Structures are given as structure tokens and as C-alpha cells.
A and B are shown apart, each in its own frame.
Chain A
């Protein structure tokens, strides 16, 4: 036996075999390296955003004790918050706060209190008028200059002051819950993402309301009823092409058509939602068709045999069974729309909007555009705020994609 095999296992053969095995190992390692490279970039990206963004949820805060016993401030009982704040402003609260800040931080330190600091005091006093009976320490935002000096850059002459206040424990970086409830501002100390978040939600609402029904109905038609003819081919080709058209082209469409139809709705969530709906619709159609195709024909045959009409077969049997798959595709399409920036820039959603939109036709901005706008700012404070906004956006996307995966695993049937 061994004699017949021996001639093939010559030294030259062994050498060649070793080389081939080494090539195999190298190839395998190259493959692993390619995958690990992508994972490494992902980790680097998320890591950079987390490290930068952690600071974005904080802001430089000054501790200012205000002694209300020496001044005669009163809030009448049963006054609404806004009215109470106006009363306090009329009674000279801004001056009281400025005086207290000068006392606590020194003349130079008091000058670095954020201009709107007294509003926070007024809000808290309006919530709880008993504060007026004693001394209370308020945490108020420093202004932009001091904040950047505290972070180690900005004006050089403010840095000693920042170091002194920090050493006295009067200047700290505190968690800033207001970041999630305020809107855009010119001062990175005062910005928040609520306006952009609300704009995003309103825009997504319109997108969902338009793209979901149209997409599902189109998918049902193409998969269940469409006759095989030229028209159907044209519809299929245009859906496949729309799915691959660059998003910025949809922005041009929105600009040329929707803004021509509604000229005074620049940067309104309604227009943004309509533009994104056109972009999301093909995604839903394609996902919907796949889900509908996966429903076995025996279901249709069974329903048909019991006397159901073609419409009843589809709406009573096929659609409910395909719905989890359609919803999964819809959520993925919506997640893509939520992260989309370029088409919304085209229809003017890059304006500075300092108040959250109250309706579908108010000027608004959306989260990705807000990120883009902040990334253009030079101030160092905005770098952290931008990363923090990115974290919020990524969290939303994570939740949406997680929901899609859950739906897929929980409800999708394998026939």
C-alpha cells in the first residue's frame, strides 16, 4: 500500500503542499483582517463620538448663592409660571442675581455669568416661592467665554479666573438636562436639541403617513394583481430605479415641485416629510413585495376555494401574514429617512430655528441637519454638543433597528 502512495509524496510535493497551506492561512487571515478592519472603524467611530459627546451633555456651571432675605421679592399666590417670572423680572430679580454673583465670584467672575442666568432662578422661584424666605444656592450656566476658558482654550486672559473659580469649587462641569429640552442658540452653553428632535418627529410622521399606505398598496398591486404587461414593467423599473437614485436628487425634486406648489412653506416639516416619503416609498415597496412573496400560495388557494374574492383573499389573509415583514422593511426605511440630511438641506431646512415647531407648517430643522449646522461652528463647545447630538441620533436609530429585528424574530413565520 505504502509503496503505491510513496512516489506522490516527493519532497517537491511536500514543499508545494506547505506553500499551498500557507497561502490558505494567509488568505483566511486577510479575510479576518478585512472584517476586523470594519469592526475597528465602527468602534473608533462610536468611541470618538462617545468620548466627545459625554462632554456635550454637560455644561460649565457657576455656583451662586442668592440671599433673598435682604431684598423684597414676592410672588403672589396662584400665579402662572410665565406671569410669576414676569413679576419677578419687574421686581428686579436680574439685578439681584447679578449682585449675588458679584458677591460670590468677585467682580470679574460675576461678569462671566450667562446673560440668561436669572431666568433659571426665576423658574425655580416660581416653582417654589418658599425659596424667597432664605438663601439658596443656584447652579447657573457660565457664559461662552468662561466655558471655553475652563475647557482649556478660548481667551487666554480668562484662564486664570477659570482656574481660580474651579479651585474654589464654584465652577464645575455639571450634567445639563436642559440639553434635551432646549432648542438651537448661538451660544453653545445655551443650545439644546429638543427643537430639532421635534422637527424630526413631525417630519417622520408625515413620511410615515404618506409612504406606508402608498408603499403597501403599491406592493400589493404589483405582487398580487398586476397583469404582466408593459405598464407593469414600467412601474417596476421606476420603483427599482427610485430606490437607487441619490437622495440629493429627491431634494431637487422637493425644491422644484413641492416648494413651487407651496412657496411659503420653506423648511416646514410637511415639505420635508413629503420629500422623504418619496424616497422611503420604494424601500417599503421592495420590502413589502418580498414579504408578500413569502406567503405560501396554499393560503391564497385555500381562501379562494372557500369563495373569497381576490380582494378578500389579499386583505383578509395575505396582508395580515405579510405585515410583520412589511413593518420590518418600513422601520428600516424610516430609520434611513431619519438619518437623511442632503434632501432636507435642499428644501431650506438649514435655517437657524430657535423655537421648536408648533405645527407641520412652521419652520423647523431636523436632527441630522442640526448636527450638520453645529459641525460648521468653530467654537470648541459646539464640537462636544455635535457629538452629543450624534449620540442621541444614533440611539434613536438603534431603538428603531432593534424594534425591526425584534419584529422579524418574533412574528416572521418560516413556511
Chain B
């Protein structure tokens, strides 16, 4: 029985409860000669509906998680399962095949060993479907009847319903905390496992990166897990090259659009920047690999650098910088707009030209906000994945030459997790350690930046 069916069933039962409760509330009202109840009939209806839907949905979720396990247990207990291979892929394949035939997902078994298991599977699935359905109906009936019987003319159904709605609202806002905790827990858990195999110092300060997913997982070579070249590549591409493009261009765009451009020009130019911000990163990555990287290589060869590769830190960094321009521009825009108009007027009244006002008054006054914006931009750039995956290359070089291929933290996360390594191998787990470092760094950058912005806003308000 699919979870979708159980959920639909829950909604259907809820609707039934809703209609029944509303009818009952109306009958009370008619019996009282049209006198008003303590709550509108619709609230009585919602009260019962909530009592039906919430428990049934919870049960449906739990049941769809445990039912497959129960089915499997009961099939394994059947005599036909006695001659299954004890462990491993083959056993899983046979079981999966028999299950598929039993549920109708496949037409016939491929493996003769699975044939005998189809019938036990079909029987077990049918049995547990029936149990699930019976329990669902029982819960719906009990909860519905209990709440239905509580409906009285003087019953304050609205406050009860509103309390439920409040709980729902609180629950929804707790999802954010749960997500943060989930990220933190999953990263920490896998990182600790990784540090059990490779020492944290070897990882953070080693200068050679070359995990071998095919090597033995039992005793990994810690000297192959030095992440320093990755950190360097990430900072060099995301915080140096990209920012050399994005900061001047973004800042100047913001200044031009807010201080100089006439409204008609701004109406055209600002959406253009917004489009640039909305282009998916995979498109930027393809653009970098297809157009910018060959261009950079040809340019390097034209000025006499013979061994320029087609995958270079420069190409990835340039395109990443262009991607960040709208972000820097809008952050700078906000902080310049927050500078009180009086400061600008005062400077202009003293005879300063517009650009003197901007450079000597507006920008210094907006500097904390601009710096915070740049920090947010850096945190975006170092977390950016697709551009570096498609254009920066896989070689872990600890070099300052922008024409060399360089790799980044995000590239290696993708490479380690999409390879063939098993989930317990240190090369796979290293991706989580890299992710943890990335998470902490971006978190720190955002935290500091938001504080700076907050203090800066307060200074002028």
C-alpha cells in the first residue's frame, strides 16, 4: 500500500469527519432555535477533521517506513527463504526481484531462485496491507468518535482549533532548526568517522591531495589526504580572482546605477543585472568551459606561455566573478542607499563634485555595509560548485599561477561522492570533512557579515 494512498485516505476520512461534525453542530443550532453556539459550526467541523487527519497521517508515515521491513521479516521466516544465500548482493537482488514481481512492477522473475519467493511476498504484502488499512480505520474511527462526542453547543471549538493551528505554525518554524541540526549532525558524524582513519592535522595541513578510492579502506595513507591545496585553490579562485572581477565592477555598477544613470537607463540596465544573477550556475559553468577557458588558453599562448592548459583557475575565477557582480552590486546599492541624504547634500553644498562626494563621503560612510556584502559574496563564491567542476580542473596544485588547473573543495566533494568508492571508504568520507570545513567557513563569514550590517544600520537610524 503506497504512502500516497494512505495520505489520501487520511484526507478522505478527515473530510467525512468534517461533514459529519458540521451537520451535528448545525443540528444543535437548530435544536436551540437558531441560537448561536459557542463556536461557528465550521470550527466544530475543523476540530473533528484535525483529530482525524493528524493521527492518521502520523500513523501513515510511520507505517510506510516500517511495513517493508515487516514484510521482509515475514518472507524471510517462510520456508521458501531457507535456501537463500546468506549475505550480499545476490541475496538482495533475488529478494528485490521477487518483490517487484509480487507488486506487479516486473512481469516475471529472471532468477529461478526468486520464483519460490514471489508467493510468500505477495501473501505478506497482502497481509500487512490489510493490517495497515485496519489500523488506519480504527485510529480514524476512535479519534473521530472521541472528538465527535465532545461537540456540544457550549463547546469552545474555535480555541481548540486555533491552538492546533498555532502548534502547526510553531512546528513549521522549527523545520529550520531541524535542518540546521541535520546538516550539522550529518557532517559532524561522518567527519568524526573520517578523522578516525586520517588524522585531522594530516588533513588540514598536508600538502598532497590524491585519495585513491580503490585502495584498502582499512589502513589509508594519511599523506594522500592533505587538503591544503584544495583550500588554496578555493581561496585563490573564489576569494582572489573572482573578487578582483566582482568587487570593482559590482561597486562601480551600483554607484553608476544609483548616482548617475537616469531613470530610463536604470529601468533597462538593472533588470539586465538581475538576469545575470538568475542564470543557473550550470550554464555559467558551460560558458566557462566552452567559451572563456579556450579564450584564456589562446590568449596565454599568444603572449608566449606555451603550456597553458584549457582548464585554468583564471577561466573559472573570471566567470565566477561575473556571476557575483549582481550580488555585490545589490549589496553595495543597499548600503549606499542607507547613508543619510544629509551627508550627501552637505558634501555637494560645499562644492564637491559628484564623484568626490561618492569617493570621500558616501563610500567611506557605507564601507561597513560594503565590506559585509563582500564577505557574503566570498562565502557564495567559495561554495559555488558547478563552475569549478566544469572549468577549473581536477589537479590539486599549490601554485600561484592563475593559468594552471586548480581544484577546489566543492570540486573534490563532487568527485569523491560521485565516484565508485564505497560509503565506508575514507575517500568518500573525506567529502564530508571537506563539506564540514566549507560549512563552518561560510557560516562564520555570514555570521560576521550580518553582525556588521546590523551594527552599521543601527549607526544611522
Contact = CB atoms under 8 A, between A and B. Distances in A.
Nearest to B287: A45
Given A34-B252, A242-B179, A225 B269 contact: no
Given A23-B355, A245-B183, A256 B177 contact: no
- Residue picked from A24, A311, A336, most chain B C-beta under 10 Å: A311
Contacts of B413: 248, 252, 346
Given A225-B166, A341-B280, A48 B290 contact: yes
Contacts of B439: 245-246, 249
Nearest to B158: A309
Nearest to B284: A45
Contacts, number: 244
Contact of B354 (A24, A39, A215): A24
Interface string B124-163: 0000000000000000000000000000000000110010
A252 B285 CA distance: 21
A345 B418 contact: yes
A394 B385 CA distance: 19
A375 B387 CA distance: 12
B177 A234 contact: yes
Contacts of A54: none
Given A248-B385, A375-B289, A34 B253 contact: yes
A99 interface: no
| Chain A, interface SS category | helix
Interface string B410-434: 1001100110000000000001100
A217 interface: yes
Interface of B is mostly: helix
Contacts of A24: 353-356
A215 B159 CA distance: 24
B166 A256 contact: no
B57 to A, nearest CB: 13
Given A38-B276, A256-B432, A371 B282 contact: yes
A225 B260 CA distance: 43
A240 B446 contact: yes
Given A35-B273, A253-B186, A371 B283 contact: yes
A69 interface: no
A278 interface: yes
Interface in A327-356: 335-336, 338-342, 345-346, 350
Contacts of B305: none
Interface stretch (B109-117, B168-176, B201-209, B308-316): B168-176
A168 B282 CA distance: 41
Given A246-B410, A342-B414, A368-B282, A252 B187 contact: yes
Contact of A235 (B174, B255, B256, B283): B174
Given A246-B384, A335-B278, A345-B418, A278 B446 contact: no
B419 to A, nearest CB: 11
A122 interface: no
B302 to A, nearest CB: 19
A372 interface: yes
Q: Counting chain A CB atoms within 10 Å of each CB, which of B158, B168, B175, B390 scores highest?
A: B175
Nearest to B385: A342
A299 interface: no
Between B259, B283, B322, B376, the greatest number of chain A beta carbons within 10 A of the residue's beta carbon is seen for B283
A386 B186 contact: no
B286 interface: yes
Contacts of A38: 249, 253, 272-273, 276, 322, 325-326
Interface string A270-300: 0000000010011001000000000000000
A394 B269 contact: no
B8 interface: no
A143 B446 CA distance: 53
A214 B279 contact: no
Residue among A48, A214, A252, A401 with the most chain B CB within 10 A?
Answer: A252
A329 B292 CA distance: 33
A342 B410 contact: yes
B179 A45 contact: no
B242 interface: no
B438 interface: yes
A215 B380 CA distance: 22
Nearest to A220: B169
B417 A394 contact: no
Nearest to A350: B418
A42 B268 CA distance: 13
A28 interface: yes
Contacts of B182: 253, 257
Which residue among A38, A42, A240, A338 has the maximum number of chain B CB atoms within 10 Å of its CB?
Answer: A38
A238 B176 contact: yes
A34 B279 contact: no
A255 B417 contact: yes
Given A246-B384, A346-B417, A31 B252 contact: yes
Contacts of A35: 252-253, 256-257, 261, 269, 273
Interface in A370-404: 371-372, 375, 383, 386-387, 390, 393-394, 397, 401
Contacts of B414: 248, 342, 345-346
A42 B173 contact: no
A95 to B, nearest CB: 29
Contacts of A240: 446, 450
21 contacts: A27-B354, A31-B252, A34-B251, A35-B256, A217-B173, A222-B173, A238-B176, A241-B443, A245-B443, A246-B379, A248-B383, A252-B187, A252-B417, A253-B186, A261-B65, A338-B280, A341-B282, A342-B281, A369-B282, A372-B390, A386-B286
Given A38-B253, A246-B442, A248-B414, 7 more contacts: A27-B355, A32-B260, A48-B287, A214-B175, A217-B171, A240-B450, A246-B380
4 smallest CB-CB distances across A and B, nearest first, come from A246-B383, A339-B280, A31-B256, A256-B186
Interface of B: 65, 96, 158-159, 162, 165-166, 168-177, 179-180, 182-183, 186-187, 189-190, 248-253, 255-257, 259-261, 269, 272-273, 275-276, 278-287, 289-291, 322, 325-326, 353-356, 358-359, 376, 379-380, 382-386, 389-390, 410, 413-414, 417-418, 431-432, 435, 438-439, 442-443, 446-447, 450
Interface of A: 20-21, 23-24, 27-28, 30-35, 37-39, 41-42, 44-45, 48-49, 52, 213-215, 217-218, 220-222, 225-226, 234-235, 238-242, 244-250, 252-253, 255-257, 261, 264, 278, 281-282, 285, 309-311, 315, 335-336, 338-342, 345-346, 350, 368-369, 371-372, 375, 383, 386-387, 390, 393-394, 397, 401
